[in-house]
Chain A
Amino acid sequence: MSNKNLLKLIIFIAIVARFVALDYAPPHLSNDEIGAAYAAYSISKTSKDASGEFLPVLWKSHGGYGSPLAVYIPMISIIIMGNSDFAVRLPSAILGSLTIILLGFLVKELTKNSNLALTSSFLLAISPWHFSASRWALESNYALFFVVLGIFLFFFGINRNRFWLVVLSFISFAFSIYSYYTEWILTPLIILALLFRYNRFFLERKARSFLVFLFFLILLVPICLSFVRTFNSSRAVSELITKDVAVSRLLVEEKNSLGKLQVVLRAIFDKYSSYLSLDYLFFYGADILPKENPYQFGFFLFPFFIPFIYGLFRLKTFYSRNSDLVYLLLFISPLIASFTEGSLNNWRSLPELLPVALISGVGVLSIWSVVKEKLFIKVFVFVLLLINFFYFFLIYFRHFPLQKAVNYQYGFKQIALFINGHYNEYEKIVIDRRFGDKNYYYIGVPSSYIPFYTSLDPHKVQNAKFLTNGIAFDKYEFRDINWESEKIRNGYLYVLPYDIVPDPKYGLNLVYEIRLPNWQPAFRLYVKED
């Protein structure tokens, strides 16, 4: 395949496939997406977020405080296109597509090898996890874009001796820090590595370099101040590995301070090992289907694990001095995620895509040059990749929405759409926050979904009343419904998980039922009629 055709294919996969059916797969805005989307909507209308804070830097989300660009980037598309899934996810799809192109430019800048640049871009374009991440309103995806842009501008500026490009690279690095928590540590480490590597360039321009660093630090002042102010409920604090259930239990049992240190280091190391393991990177890390489903995908399609291993040893041939930077990226990219609690989180480890794509690209080219004459192997590899990508498409667009809809709190949007057409018919709308089924009820955030999709005046949410078991604003109450103690009234709409069925003695009639994409019932809406 010629370079031109490969480029066309990359553009097709990168741009076309990432924008198709954005509001269908993933099947529903997730908990984090709706949090950011509602904050963006609220700020766009009132300059305040849901908690009433004026143009917040770190904004109050469901599980602590979210990073600024998670809100301010989708805000632009929400203002232009209105409150829709497509508008929320569009910026991520755009930045994800641009990351693919930028990665190619970066590789070209580092190696002067067009084939390698195209191969690396192609790898990222067909990466299941980058494909998925670009279809979510994912702040870690924004951060990845700014990291790649920052590194590219840095090398572009250094290689052409244009200092203003280096300044731009530092602005991009600052944006990455504003995008996601992982980059709070990762980006400074990358910057330090670049400064260490190109110290002569900066020493020769001492005064200007000093001003750039000062400018960079000034850019970070707002986020630092906001972090200090919200320190106790910040995610950077609440999600540390020491808060992990298993780790904290071991820490309590351990009396010795050296032993405590050992417990924490072991936990970090175990996690780091999992993030770097080949099965996570090439077999299940994308986490598209339920854990036990064998049809899983990794960050990259599985046939690339061999080029990755081979590329590790061939990196220097293509990247010469810059290979150290790639190795360093591989070493540090899962590090920050390893310091956090909970199970493996592919959002936090998204930066791993960058070094793995660069290394696998080298492996692919090296292997390709070895098997150049062997048509059978070339055909075999091509067919294997094609089959693998076919499976990925099938699973992503067909089975993923069917099997994972519940995890996305599927149904709250559909409730909002129903209410949109019947808002005036009800005196009060009581929505139970639970979703799932009687085996396990999760607590959702309908208090964000409903005002977002019904475009409710954000002032009403900002003036919400807190109930003992929920929250209320406008004519909505979001709380648990217990039929035994509920005072059922005429003109009230009750929304519950489908299996919490009211006794016929209450005289409630089913007015609407919401089903999951797999046709299982999710929610039922009842109203009392005389």
Chain B
Amino acid sequence: MIAFTLLISFLLNVVSHHNLLIGVLNTFLLFLCINFYVAYSNNKNLSFFKLRDKDSYFFILLGAMPLFSKKNDIVILLLAIGFIVLILFYLKNKSKILLSITAIYGFFIGLYGSGLINFPFYFQDKLLVFNDNWINSYILQMRIESQYMPSILRLLVYNHSVIVYVMLSKVTGLFSLKNFHDNFLLANIYPFLSGFCLDMKKWDRSKNYWVFLVLTVSFSMVLSRSMDRISATIFIFLSPFFVYYISDGLSRISKKIYLLLFIFSYFLVLDF
């Protein structure tokens, strides 16, 4: 069944943008994501070729997720593949050094993904959130408007620490319904929530590493001001986690509702 899922993904790549290399890389990325799910969940029902039960047919629909059939940037795809490979290695070895390497790698691919570093090593400091003229001028304005305060207090209350708040706001803004739909389809939010809900109930410490990695990538990306680029690429890097929850929730949901949502999602996506 995994083979069918990958086949659908590849065919959609060919149909939508005709670039075989990107098609292969996208499909490989999906393969690694499914691998991550299999490795972590120990799901014995999944097989590479056989369609074992009704759920299998729905698993195939994962191949239709737009994230894996878009004309993604080749460098970003390669970086994402490297990220998943590192995570898979970590899952096998559980070494703290490997986790640190994965986190550092995650931080750097975040910088690439947000455009702060252009290939190979050109750092675009003008894109840094710290160099946002609006933020700097408003900090100054707030200080001017607070002349009634002692100057030390003014500097303490209105300073560049507000950038952390801005970054947090941007991170939360990334995980919106629209971004989810653009990358994974609206229909998949249903199994995603189901999988996530279940995971919350049986939360174990190992999941804290996931949170750590997700936050590392997210925060390194929002160091950049270029939000459009971030929302387009962050899901490529974080795809294993999303695919994990979607796959995990898929067997627990109402198939009729999922199918209806899937048709509706595709109606929104297709070009008439």
Report the separation of the CA atoms of residues A277 and B172 in the bound assembly, to the nearest whole angstrom: 8
Partner of B178, one of A262, A274, A279: A274
The reply to whether B172 and A294 contact each other, CB–CB distance below 8 Å, is no
Of the candidates A256, A266, A276, A293, the one having the most CB atoms from chain B within 10 angstroms of its own CB is: A293
The reply to whether B138 and A293 contact each other, CB–CB distance below 8 Å, is yes
Question: Measured between C-beta atoms, what is the minimum distance from A291 to chain B in Å?
Answer: 9
**How does the 8 Å CB contact mask read for B122-156 relative to A, with 1 for contact and 0 for none?**
00000000000011001101100110000000000
Known contacts A292-B138, A295-B162, A399-B142; is-contact A313 B178 (Cβ 8 Å): no
The reply to whether A283 and B169 contact each other, CB–CB distance below 8 Å, is yes
Confirm or deny: A443 has a beta carbon within 8 angstroms of a beta carbon on chain B: no
The reply to whether B145 and A279 contact each other, CB–CB distance below 8 Å, is no
Known contacts A274-B178, A279-B169, A305-B172; is-contact A292 B268 (Cβ 8 Å): no
The reply to whether B145 and A277 contact each other, CB–CB distance below 8 Å, is no
Confirm or deny: A273 has a beta carbon within 8 angstroms of a beta carbon on chain B: yes
Question: Measured between C-beta atoms, what is the minimum distance from B77 to chain A in Å?
Answer: 26
Partner of B134, one of A258, A277, A292: A292
Interface members, chain B 148-186 (any A CB < 8 Å)? 157-158, 162-163, 165-166, 168-170, 172-173, 175-179, 181, 186
Please, how many residues of chain A have a CB less than 8 angstroms from a CB on the other chain?
36
Confirm or deny: B197 has a beta carbon within 8 angstroms of a beta carbon on chain A: yes
Report the separation of the CA atoms of residues A398 and B181 in the bound assembly, to the nearest whole angstrom: 40
Report the separation of the CA atoms of residues A402 and B166 in the bound assembly, to the nearest whole angstrom: 22
Interface members, chain A 210-255 (any B CB < 8 Å)? none
Partner of B165, one of A259, A272, A302: A302
The reply to whether B145 and A398 contact each other, CB–CB distance below 8 Å, is yes
**How does the 8 Å CB contact mask read for B90-114 relative to A, with 1 for contact and 0 for none?**
0000000000000000000000000
Report the separation of the CA atoms of residues A269 and B165 in the bound assembly, to the nearest whole angstrom: 27
The reply to whether A294 and B176 contact each other, CB–CB distance below 8 Å, is no
Which residues of B are found within 8 Å of A427, using beta-carbon distances? none
Confirm or deny: B267 has a beta carbon within 8 angstroms of a beta carbon on chain A: yes
**How does the 8 Å CB contact mask read for A426-447 relative to B, with 1 for contact and 0 for none?**
0000000000000000000000
Partner of B272, one of A259, A292, A305, A313: A259
The reply to whether A294 and B268 contact each other, CB–CB distance below 8 Å, is no
Interface members, chain A 261-277 (any B CB < 8 Å)? 262, 265-266, 269-270, 272-274, 276-277
Please, how many residues of chain B have a CB less than 8 angstroms from a CB on the other chain?
34
The reply to whether B142 and A295 contact each other, CB–CB distance below 8 Å, is yes
Known contacts A269-B178, A518-B145; is-contact A302 B168 (Cβ 8 Å): yes
Question: Measured between C-beta atoms, what is the minimum distance from B238 to chain A in Å?
Answer: 16
Known contacts A266-B268, A269-B178, A292-B134; is-contact A284 B145 (Cβ 8 Å): no
Q: Which residue of B lies closest to A272 (CB)?
A: B177
Q: Which residue of B lies closest to A402 (CB)?
A: B145
The reply to whether A273 and B142 contact each other, CB–CB distance below 8 Å, is no
Known contacts A259-B272, A293-B138, A399-B142; is-contact A276 B177 (Cβ 8 Å): yes
Interface members, chain A 331-348 (any B CB < 8 Å)? none
The reply to whether A313 and B200 contact each other, CB–CB distance below 8 Å, is yes
The reply to whether B268 and A265 contact each other, CB–CB distance below 8 Å, is yes
Question: Measured between C-beta atoms, what is the minimum distance from B200 to chain A in Å?
Answer: 5
Partner of A279, one of B134, B138, B173: B173
Question: Measured between C-beta atoms, what is the minimum distance from A322 to chain B in Å?
Answer: 18
The reply to whether B166 and A294 contact each other, CB–CB distance below 8 Å, is yes
Which residues of A are found within 8 Å of B197, using beta-carbon distances? 313
Report the separation of the CA atoms of residues A36 and B25 in the bound assembly, to the nearest whole angstrom: 60
The reply to whether A269 and B172 contact each other, CB–CB distance below 8 Å, is no
Which residues of B are found within 8 Å of A270, using beta-carbon distances? 178
Question: Measured between C-beta atoms, what is the minimum distance from B133 to chain A in Å?
Answer: 9
The reply to whether A294 and B168 contact each other, CB–CB distance below 8 Å, is no
Which residues of A are found within 8 Å of B173, using beta-carbon distances? 277-280, 283
Q: Which residue of B lies closest to A293 (CB)?
A: B138
Known contacts A256-B272, A262-B272, A266-B268; is-contact A294 B178 (Cβ 8 Å): no
Which residues of B are found within 8 Å of A265, using beta-carbon distances? 267-268
The reply to whether B176 and A276 contact each other, CB–CB distance below 8 Å, is yes
Confirm or deny: A282 has a beta carbon within 8 angstroms of a beta carbon on chain B: yes
Confirm or deny: A394 has a beta carbon within 8 angstroms of a beta carbon on chain B: yes
Q: Which residue of A lies closest to B267 (CB)?
A: A262
Which residues of B are found within 8 Å of A290, using beta-carbon distances? 138
The reply to whether A274 and B138 contact each other, CB–CB distance below 8 Å, is no
Question: Measured between C-beta atoms, what is the minimum distance from A515 to chain B in Å?
Answer: 15
Which residues of A are found within 8 Å of B177, using beta-carbon distances? 269, 272-273, 276-277
Report the separation of the CA atoms of residues A272 and B139 in the bound assembly, to the nearest whole angstrom: 32
Question: Measured between C-beta atoms, what is the minimum distance from A160 to chain B in Å?
Answer: 34
Report the separation of the CA atoms of residues A279 and B218 in the bound assembly, to the nearest whole angstrom: 14
Which residues of A are found within 8 Å of B163, using beta-carbon distances? 294
Known contacts A276-B177, A282-B172, A295-B162; is-contact A399 B145 (Cβ 8 Å): yes
Report the separation of the CA atoms of residues A229 and B254 in the bound assembly, to the nearest whole angstrom: 45
Report the separation of the CA atoms of residues A296 and B168 in the bound assembly, to the nearest whole angstrom: 12
The reply to whether A273 and B268 contact each other, CB–CB distance below 8 Å, is no
Which residues of B are found within 8 Å of A403, using beta-carbon distances? 141, 145
Which residues of A are found within 8 Å of B146, using beta-carbon distances? 398
Question: Measured between C-beta atoms, what is the minimum distance from A6 to chain B in Å?
Answer: 27
Question: Measured between C-beta atoms, what is the minimum distance from B197 to chain A in Å?
Answer: 5
Question: Measured between C-beta atoms, what is the minimum distance from A147 to chain B in Å?
Answer: 24
Which residues of A are found within 8 Å of B138, using beta-carbon distances? 290, 292-295
The reply to whether B142 and A279 contact each other, CB–CB distance below 8 Å, is no
Question: Measured between C-beta atoms, what is the minimum distance from A137 to chain B in Å?
Answer: 26
Which residues of A are found within 8 Å of B170, using beta-carbon distances? 279
Which residues of B are found within 8 Å of A305, using beta-carbon distances? 172
Which residues of B are found within 8 Å of A258, using beta-carbon distances? 272
Question: Measured between C-beta atoms, what is the minimum distance from B31 to chain A in Å?
Answer: 29
The reply to whether B181 and A273 contact each other, CB–CB distance below 8 Å, is yes
Question: Measured between C-beta atoms, what is the minimum distance from A447 to chain B in Å?
Answer: 32
The reply to whether A294 and B272 contact each other, CB–CB distance below 8 Å, is no
**How does the 8 Å CB contact mask read for A365-400 relative to B, with 1 for contact and 0 for none?**
000000000000000000000000001001000110
Known A391-B157, A398-B145; further 20 A-B contacts with Cβ < 8 A: A256-B272, A262-B267, A262-B268, A262-B272, A265-B268, A269-B177, A269-B178, A273-B178, A279-B176, A283-B168, A293-B142, A294-B134, A294-B139, A294-B162, A295-B138, A295-B162, A302-B168, A305-B172, A399-B142, A403-B141
Can you report 23 A-B residue pairs in the complex whose CB atoms are below 8 A from each other?
A262-B267, A262-B272, A270-B178, A272-B177, A273-B178, A276-B176, A276-B177, A277-B175, A279-B170, A282-B169, A282-B172, A283-B169, A292-B135, A293-B142, A294-B135, A294-B162, A295-B138, A295-B158, A302-B169, A310-B200, A398-B146, A399-B142, A518-B145
CB within 8 Å of A: which residues of B? Answer: 134-135, 138-139, 141-142, 145-146, 157-158, 162-163, 165-166, 168-170, 172-173, 175-179, 181, 186, 196-197, 200-201, 267-268, 270, 272
CB within 8 Å of B: which residues of A? Answer: 256, 258-259, 262, 265-266, 269-270, 272-274, 276-280, 282-284, 290, 292-296, 302, 305, 310, 313, 391, 394, 398-399, 402-403, 518
